[in-house]
Structure 1
Amino acid sequence: MKRILFLAVFLSSIAAISQPFTRKDSLQGGLRPERTSFDVKKYDLNITIDPKEKSIRGYNEISFLITENTQRIQLDLFQNMTIDSIVSRGKKLDYKRDFGAVFINFPQMWQEGMTDVLRFYYHGKPIEAPHAPWQGGFVWKKDSNGKDFIGVAVQGTGSSLWFPSKDTQTDEPDNGARIAVTIPTGLTEVSNGRLESSADLGNGWTRWVWEVTNPINNYDITVNIADYAHIHDTHNGLDLDFYVLKQNEAKAREHFKEVHSMLDCFEDKFGPYPFKEDGYKLVETPYLGMEHQSVVAYGNDYLKGYKGSDLSGTGIGLSFDYIIVHESGHEWFGNSITSKDIADMWIHEGFTMYSEAVYVECTQGKEKAYAYMNGIRKNIHNYDPVIGQYGVNNEGSGDMYPKGAWMLHTLRNVLNDDERWWKIINRYSTRFAHQIIDTRTVCDYFSREMSRSLRPVFEQYLNTTKIPLLVWENENGKWSYRYENTVSHFSLPVDIVVNGKTVRIEPTPEKQFLNGKDKPKVLTENFLIDVKGL
């Protein structure tokens, strides 16, 4: 059985590495003049969602600034959705579809510095999610009372699955978004930001309008439709709004108290909540969860852990609601700080999985936090690199979660100064707040703050599947040590215990010797390395 399992894993790994990327992939994931020549300023989405037909119709009004002279831009909408017309300044624009890309031609050259607004009218039945949130799309369900219970999650799949957009993480609408959704009367619709209005149109339909003032990445824009109860709360001046199925209101009032301790912890470690103007919301969804900015999707059934299980295997993971903590951590890491390319999604997921241990440390102490980290270490598989391939809408491996978190845990122990570490983390989340960055930016920041070059460390953990191997040999009564299985110029200090005392060494691929003959113990619970020979 082990050989069969290994073969299956090996073949799937080879398939992933040799995946043939297509024009469709590069159109969705790449940058070209038709994308870089304009900057989206705001989305104004006006749609009707018909649960009976599982359909959408309406338009997205897109305000933008021309940044390079151009006569052609690219927006995006999945092929199964129908374009009705694209209008600017009272005239219909010519366009050409190429897979999900929509190339729009202006009647004349648009000059740098010009602003414009276009309305993109469309309709259709958006793809249903095969397995939300991991495989994206709409989720059309009924609650236990037979009422519609609808949500959408499209991270990685693309916002253009359900509305026309500039579907790339490199450009967020600077002035946020207005989201107007018309649905059958009797249901509530919840989107990002603050509720601007709701109006019964008198024809069996009600229009809900939400306004987002902060920049927002495309996949975070969302709709949630159900027979919701609304619970309002506050925390240190921040508005908290919870939308839950009416039959779950009582348990939600008790269970969501954890939001307060979560916010206390994260604001202490990561800085102020990044979207105070838009408030903080939890909304119950027909899928497990997603970090939709200012309206965190919650589907964990009011259980501790991850659907009642502990991903760390330590028991510590059952002491908090995983979805509340993890998805809310994304407000700082993923929503406020966003990666330019989904190949760098570890910037979202590694930091956010690390935030779980941070929450444990805030509420239960450092020892429990380290035990939690060592529990999730077993989830690192090293099948494929953490970083995917750029420009083709390709995420890296699932190791972006535990291995990304463990790289941060390792850096903390390399620094060996907790007070300084928390200042570095806080400055990182505030320095790059509301920015779009890449791995090199993260590496350069931590290198500068820690006063050591970390490029080989980032290369080792993010671009290879190799774990540094610290090899020990007893040579005539003396212990030698060196690293194997590393990239060029790799060095990483580690702590060892010799004769009851903790000693720091800095191995490299070159052999070094310990003073004395006592057998050392390597503190692998603090560093992402393997050990051989002891």
Structure 2
Amino acid sequence: MLTYVPSVFSRLTLIASACLLGACQSPAPLDPVIGDTGQPLSATAQATDVRYYELDLDIDPEHQSIRGSGTSVFELVADSASVELKLDSRFHIDRIEVDGKVASYQRDAGVLTMALPALYKTGQQVRVQVYYQGKPHIALKAPWSGGFVWANTPTGEPWIATAVQGEGCDLFWPCKDHFADKADSMRIKLRVPKGLSAATNGVLQHQRSLADGRTEFDWLLSVPASDYNIALNIGPYVLERFSFNGINGSNIPVEFWALPQNKEAARKLWLDDLQQQIHWYEKTLGPYPWGSEKIGFVETPHLGMEHQTINAYGKGYGLDPNGYDWLAQHELAHEWFGNLLTHKTLNHAWLHEGFGLYMQPAYALDKLGEAAYRYQMYKAYLGLKNCDPVVRSGIVTSEQAFNSDIYGKGGWVLHTLRALIGDKLFWQATRELLYGTADTAKLVYPIAPSYKTTEDFIAIVNRLTGKDYQWMFDVYLYQAELPELVQQQQEGKIRLHWQVPGNLPFPMPVPAQVNGQMQWLDFSQGDVWLPADNQLLLDPQMLILRQLPLIGRCEKSGENKPGNNS
């Protein structure tokens, strides 16, 4: 998700505003239950495992409304006499059927509770079909404040998209609304006005013209995906097709759904940039996770979002001074960090976004060299706030989870870890986090996604290195303030010691240039003392995350002085 906004991000923020595209309205506020995805599941919801979703919708751009049905197939993991779904209360429900028969239900704002015809036992399946219609919530500023985007192309045709990572699927279809319960598969049928195309997740099964002039698009997603990743993209698209030869020998279909006037730009972006990016990801991490489906991009009226197999792209096709498209690179990162690996709870959202941010300087290092890498890391450092822990305890809302430090500080934790344990072990740990194995090149499809926590990553790092790095993660991730390396003249010597919030253990070694020679200073036994006449330059390459005068300390007002660059 695009929440972290260094300077190059902020220059593009206005592109994402639906108001600038003629779709600005003042929608009614969202029910808090609906407006915050991934919250703890009720006992009723915990009794079910989603096996299959089906979404069947008519899209009406003229009235900015949708109508149709959403089907859920649950398997009971505990005996239950009811099942639960969520759906924004602004929709009118025509009826709900359970196993083909009209069922009674209760509606508490956005929560739907359906009575089952009997007590269903563990292992039984139940099919729930919700028929509904209405005007979905309009995104105030997609993708950061999500919902539907009803816009028009520069030539006047309807141009529609959804982006709901923070709010969840229940903004426009009935679902469980929790990333920790992915359906095994999903079918998406969309009917749109003549001349428009509907691009979404998975593989297109058929496209057919209807008697009333509309066109139906029938898509099937045959791999698990978080329900917030399901996205509708509708416009007068042209489809550019390519293929990609994957590292494991697979030939993967590639689709780029672009506006007609940008057909050649989309083609050029793939040929000149995107395929090289994916080659790098595969070489560094392992096979593109969804090779049995597609590598997909779709041009959108908002900036972008990592929708599984159909990444939203609205940046305008221009390469950056880095020589590649940062937006595409960031969203592609999420096919691995977010879609293949999914945080078990919102507390661990940095596993998506810290890795997602770090993949850009890591790519720049291999593509352009050290200067490009360090430039990007330096920019990220200047944006650090250090007001809240990266990994919070307790129940976390989406707004709390996606604070800027899960991007920049998360990326810097990885930067420092890589310096400590070396490239080989760092990337080995990263591959194990993603795939469950470091030997990834020949993995075959389908590749199973997994749910992970920060503790899972720490355990992998400790096992591979044979050392306990818990102290590092405790200081960097589980509390807000940064440690500071204090240098003092004392007793005729230079005293170096770590000043750590909460006085936590922090035996962080530090690279230093001492009398012109590089060495690592060892703090495992406490403070380091050096002769006072030594010429000392601490951490000249900025490998270690620490408090420097470049950035201020957090103030409770939310200001970070002097380095507030967001």
Scaled by the length of structure 2, the TM-score of the pair is 0.84
Contact between 1:38 and 1:66, CA under 8 Å: does it hold in 2? yes
Would the aligned equivalents of 2:500 and 2:506 in 1 still touch at CA under 8 Å? no
Counterpart residue number, 1:204: 213
Q: Output the CA distance in 1 between the equivalents of 2:228 and 2:35.
A: 17
Structure 1 counterpart of 2:256, which letter? F
Choose which of 438, 450, 455 in structure 1 pairs with 2:465.
450
Higher relative contact order (CA 8 A, sep 6+): 2
Distance 1:277 1:24, change over 3 A: closer
Deviation of 1:117 (Å) = 1.5
Q: State the 1:90 CA deviation.
A: 2.6
Change (3 A) 1:82 1:448: farther
Equivalent in the alignment of 2:514: 498
Alpha-carbon displacement from aligned partner over 1:471-500 (angstroms, at most 9, x marks no partner): 121223322221113342233222111112
The total of aligned residue pairs comes to 499
Q: 1:98 to 1:491 in 2, by over 3 A?
A: farther
The change in CA–CA distance for 1:48 and 1:388 in structure 2 (over 3 A counts) is: farther
Structure 2 Cα separation of the partners of residues 253 and 371 of structure 1: 29
**Identity percentage of aligned residues:** 31
2:132 to 122, 125, 147: 122
Q: Which residue of 2 aligns with 1:35?
A: 45
Deviation per residue, 1:228-253 (Å, 9 max, x gap):
11101111122111010001112221
Structure 2 Cα separation of the partners of residues 218 and 465 of structure 1: 31
* Partner residue in 2 for 1:141: 151
Q: Which has the higher mean CA deviation after the structures are superposed, 234-243 or 81-90?
A: 81-90
Q: 1:160 to 1:23 in 2, by over 3 A?
A: closer
1:94 to partner: Cα distance: 2.4
Whether 1:419 aligns to 2:424 is yes
Aligned equivalent of 1:168, options 175, 178, 182: 178
SS in 2 for 1:502: strand
C-alpha change, 1:284 and 1:355, in structure 2 (3 Å) is same
Instruction: Report the 3-state secondary structure (helix = DSSP H, G, I; strand = E; otherwise coil) of the residue aligned with 1:530.
Output: coil
Give the match for residue 214 of structure 1. 223
Q: Is residue 349–residue 400 contact of structure 1 (8 Å, CA) maintained in 2?
A: yes
User: Are residues 1:245 and 2:259 paired?
Assistant: yes
Give a deviation string over 1:306-337, Cα, whole Å, max 9, x none: xxxxxxxxx54xx2211110001110001111
Quick one: which of 405, 410, 419 aligns to 2:416?
A: 410
SS at match of 2:336: coil
Deviations 1:129-164 (A, max 9, x none): 000000000000111111011000000111100000
Whether 1:190 aligns to 2:207 is no
Structure 2 residue ranges without an equivalent (≥5): 1-30, 246-250, 438-447, 550-566
Q: CA RMSD in A?
A: 2.2
Alpha-carbon distance between aligned partners in 2 of 1:260 and 1:337, rounded to the nearest angstrom: 22
Partner Cα separation in structure 1 for residue 548 and residue 492 of structure 2: 19
State whether structure 2 residue 265 is matched by structure 1 residue 255. no
Which residue of structure 2 lines up, in the alignment, with residue 362 of structure 1?
366
Q: Is the CA contact (8 Å cut-off) linking 2:35 and 2:168 kept in structure 1?
A: no
2:300: which partner in 1? 285
Unaligned ranges ≥5, structure 1: 1-20, 306-314
- Which AA in structure 1 matches 2:231? T
Tell me the equivalent position of 1:522.
538
Q: Identify which of 418, 431, 435 aligns with 2:436.
A: 431
In 2: Cα distance, 1:200 partner to 1:403 partner = 50
Q: What residue in structure 2 maps to residue 337 of structure 1?
A: 341
Deviations 1:83-140 (Å, cap 9, x if unpaired)? Answer: 2222122322222222322222212211111112111211111100000000000000
- TM-fit CA distance, 1:256: 2.5
Query: How far apart are residue 28 of structure 1 and its match?
Result: 6.0
In structure 2, C-alpha distance between the alignment counterparts of 1:473 and 1:345, rounded to whole Å? 38
Measured against aligned partners, the alpha-carbon deviations of 1:371-415 in whole angstroms (never above 9, x if no partner) come to 321222111122333235643533322111111111100100111
Distance, in Å, in 2 between the alignment partners of 1:486 and 1:383 is 13
**Contact 2:432–2:460 (CA under 8 A) maintained in structure 1:** no
Per-residue deviation, 1:431: 1.4
1:349 matched to 2:353: yes
Alignment partners' CA distance in 2, 1:114 and 1:178? 22
Question: How big is the shift at 1:294?
Answer: 0.3
Contact 2:482 2:501 in 1 (8 A): yes
Q: Deviations over 1:23-46 (max 9, x none)?
A: 778996112321211110111111
Q: Closer, same or farther in 2 for the Cα pair 1:358/1:512, shift >3 Å? A: closer
Contact 2:387 2:481 in 1 (8 A): no
Partner-residue secondary structure (3-state), 2:292: helix
Q: Distance in 1 between matches of 2:315 and 2:32?
A: 36
For 1:289, the aligned partner's letter is G
User: Where do 1:481-492 residues align within 5 Å?
Assistant: 481-487=496-502, 488-492=504-508
The answer (yes or no) to whether the contact 2:433–2:456 under 8 Å persists in 1 is no
Aligned with 1:82 (options 92, 96, 103): 92
Output one character per residue of 1:158-180: Cα deviation in whole Å (capped at 9) or x when no partner.
11000000101110012x21111
Q: Give the match's secondary structure for 2:542.
A: coil
- Which letter does structure 1 place at the counterpart of 2:417? L
